[in-house]
Structure formats: C-alpha cells, structure tokens
Amino acid sequence: MKELASKSPGRATPRLHLDDLVDRALLSDAIAGGLVSVRGEGSLRVLNYTARATYSRVWTRATRLCRGLVVDDGNRVVARPFPKFFAPSEPDAPPAPEGVPMVVHEKFDGSLGIAYHHPDGGIRLATRGSLSSDQAEEATRIWQERYSDVRFGEDITPLFEIIYPDNRVVVDYGSMRDLVLLAVIDIRTGADLPLGCLDWPGPVAASHEVGSFADLADHVAAGAESAREGYVVRFDMGSEQPHVRFKFKFPEYVVAHRIVTGLTSLRVWEVAAVADAVDRGLDVTTTSRRLRMDPATVEAISNRTPDPVDGLRAGLPEEFWPWYDAAVRESRAAVGRRIEEYESLVRMARSESGATGGRDFAEAALRLCSERGLASGPVFALNKGRTDVYASIWAAHRPTGGGDRPDR
C-alpha cells in the first residue's frame, strides 16, 4: 500500500478551522459581494473566487485563498489548494522574491484537481468551482480505477492536473487520460511539501532548469514553444507559509485560449472587433478605449498582422474552425447591419436638412434616431467622418454574460 503519513504520525491532527485561515467578516463580505462563490454538496462546500473578483481585481486574502477551498459543515478545512497566483506582468503580482530557491514546472492545459477525503469514505477530487463538475467526476473515476491504493493524511492536499481528451482546451495531449501530480500542500500552513513525499505511481509535472527568473521571462516572450501552455514558477518560502507562484504562458497560447476557452462568442467578438479597428487605422489606445478592452489584449490581437482573424484561425485546432468561422460571420454581420443603418440615417438627415451639418441636420438626425430607438451619437460622428465611431458601434454589440470555461 502506498501511503503518505500524516505530519503527526500516530495521532489524529485536528483540522484547521476556516476562521483560523481567513477573517470571517472579510469572507462574508466577499461572498455577499459576489466575489466568492459557495457551492455545496452534502456536508461539504467549495469556495472559489468569481469572475467579478477577477474583472474587478479585488484580491483580498479571502478572494486569493478561495481558489477551490473545501470545507465541511463545521467550517473545518478539508482541502486547501494553492492560492490565486499571477503572471509577473499583472498589476496584482507581487515582486519575485530574491535569494529564495526557485523551482520551474511545466504548466499543463487541463483542470486543477483537488484531492480530499470524503465524509462517506474514500478519496475524491474537486475542481476549483465544484465538487461534482464533469472534470471532478472524471478525475475521481481515474483515481478509483488506477490509484485507489494511494493514501494520504487528512492534513495535506495533493493537487493534480486533470487531463483527458474531452477536456482539451488548446494543447493536444492526444489520448492521455490521467492525473498529473502538481503539488502537495500542508493544510495548516499552505506551504508546499516535497512531491516525493507522496508515493505517486502516476505522472508528475516535469521540472525545468533555467538560469534565472528573467531568463525564463525572455524565453516565454520569444514564443519558442507555442505547442505548450507555459510554466509555473514556485519560490520556496519555507515550511510555515504558502510558496510564491507565478505563471508564464506562451503568447500564441494566450491568444488562442481567449477564443477556444468556453467557445464563447465574446472571445470571437474581441478578435473581430480589433481586426476591424486595425483595418480602419485606429491605434491601440483609441481601440482599447472605444471597445472597452484591456490595452494589452488589444495589442496582442492587433500584432497578428496582416489579418488578426485569419492569423488566429491558423493557430487553432481544425476541429474548432467551423465554429470559429460561423462566430466571426455572425459577429461581423450584426455589426455590419447596424453600421449600414447608421450610414443610411446620415444620408437621410443630410437629404432632409440640405446640408452636411448645422442645426437642421441635428434636428433631423435626432428625430430619425428617436423614431428607431437608436443612440444619435454615431450619426453625428459619421457625419464628421470620425473613424473611431465604428469601434463604438462594435462595442455596442459586445456579447453579454460570461465566457470563461469553468473549473480550469
């Protein structure tokens, strides 16, 4: 029997209480404010930061720690994954620690699997946002089929990458169906334990030798390995606190992932909207402001010249092309119809007023737009020949709702 003993062999270790991990009021406010979701199943709950926390960049101790945190009905911590971590370029990323051991592992393109002891007995796996997601249930099946003789104490949390063909995002792992060991976390401290302490017979995230943190950043920026997702860098902060992590993703993966993740129309809209702005000669600053998009995302898409839409398509798996092409057509058609409508209103207002501007044009434009329930701003902008108005029209057709695939 393969087993990792509890850190206190021979006696049960009391489980960490949620109140000892995060301030109760802070967590309650995060939940009430929609920054942390709580999903229950039986006597267990899983706490996970929400898209609102991500978009609003509200990274408190509560939102950072709730990244698949599993607790029981007594608010005792059953599983503790590593906290939210960032790419070095993100504004919320901490500085890279100096004079601290650094470990670099491959970043896999699957779902995070959080192993825990279920109250009914046996080991199960959760994902960040659910105890019973498709990925969690498949991971549990894999565990039961291959690793049911692996044991570990209730005071640690083994973490895995869940990989199987139906869970593919961008990177193709072929027929692989397995759990890749990523980390073993001490629930009390949040610190990493050595991977070797778990007698794990399955695959383990490969480590890589790099010269320095800066060398790795340069290597990833060069995009030399676009067939992979990237790397995770871990700084060993000792045995009494969580280790500091950073994620690096190859540029090609980042752009492709924004389309493939969740297969949402929002991701396609971004690329098509930026491509239209590029064709009209708008710069990154104007485009990001008019489309209400992050400038870094606009720049990454616009750099895929001469045609960002075709450039991204070429890097996608063939099975995604039909959906991608249809989504691009639908997005362009909807915006095109609205542009034609506004251009028609400009011609009508000019015809009625007998001029290209002035009070008569304004009165005609306002009346025509009011009759059709349309905002009048684009008509005045088009009449003045302002090309940035096209990006504003695209912004008005931004798909609503979420778009990120859950439980990644």
Q: What is the pLDDT of residue 167?
A: 86
Burial (Cβ within 10 Å: 0-12, 13-18, ≥19) of residue 85: buried
Does the pLDDT value for residue 407 go beyond 70? no
Confidence of residue 91 (pLDDT cuts 50, 70, 90): confident
pLDDT, the chain, mean: 86
DSSP label at residue 130: B
What average pLDDT does range 221-229 have in this prediction?
A: 70
Does the pLDDT value for residue 9 go beyond 90? no
More confident residue, 133 or 307: 133
CA gyration radius for the chain?
25
Q: Which of 242, 235, 238 is nearest to 101 (CA)?
A: 235
Comparing 147-151, 155-159, 316-320, the range with the smallest average pLDDT is 316-320
Q: What is the pLDDT of residue 259?
A: 54
Q: Tell me the C-alpha distance between 16 and 260, whole Å.
A: 38
Q: What is the pLDDT of residue 56?
A: 78
Backbone angles phi, psi at 37, to 5 degrees: -95, 150
Share of the chain above pLDDT 70, in %: 87
Q: Tell me the C-alpha distance between 67 and 353, whole Å.
A: 60
Q: What is the pLDDT of residue 4?
A: 43
Q: What is the pLDDT of residue 14?
A: 81
What average pLDDT does range 292-315 have in this prediction?
A: 81
Confidence of residue 405 (pLDDT cuts 50, 70, 90): very low
Q: Which of 395, 348, 337 is nearest to 371 (CA)?
A: 348
Q: What is the pLDDT of residue 254?
A: 63
For 246-292, the pLDDT digits (tens) are: 998 877 776 665 555 445 677 789 999 999 999 999 999 999 999 99
What average pLDDT does range 378-391 have in this prediction?
A: 94
For 18-54, the pLDDT digits (tens) are: 999 999 999 999 999 999 999 999 999 999 998 778 7
Q: What is the pLDDT of residue 206?
A: 87
What average pLDDT does range 364-370 have in this prediction?
A: 93
pTM of the complete model: 0.66
Q: What is the pLDDT of residue 326?
A: 85
Does the pLDDT value for residue 210 go beyond 90? no
Q: Tell me the C-alpha distance between 378 and 368, whole Å.
A: 12
**Cis peptide bond N-terminal to 306, omega within 30:** yes
Residues in CB range of 220: below 8 A, 6 or more apart:
230, 231, 248, 249, 250, 251
Q: What is the pLDDT of residue 6?
A: 44
Q: Tell me the C-alpha distance between 162 and 181, whole Å.
A: 9
Does the pLDDT value for residue 136 go beyond 60? yes
What average pLDDT does range 228-240 have in this prediction?
A: 91
Q: What is the pLDDT of residue 305?
A: 62
Q: What is the pLDDT of residue 217?
A: 86
DSSP secondary structure string for all residues of 315-357 = TS-GGGHHHHHHHHHHHHHHHHHHHHHHHHHHHHHHHHHTSSS
Confidence of residue 404 (pLDDT cuts 50, 70, 90): very low
Confidence of residue 123 (pLDDT cuts 50, 70, 90): very high
Does the pLDDT value for residue 201 go beyond 60? yes
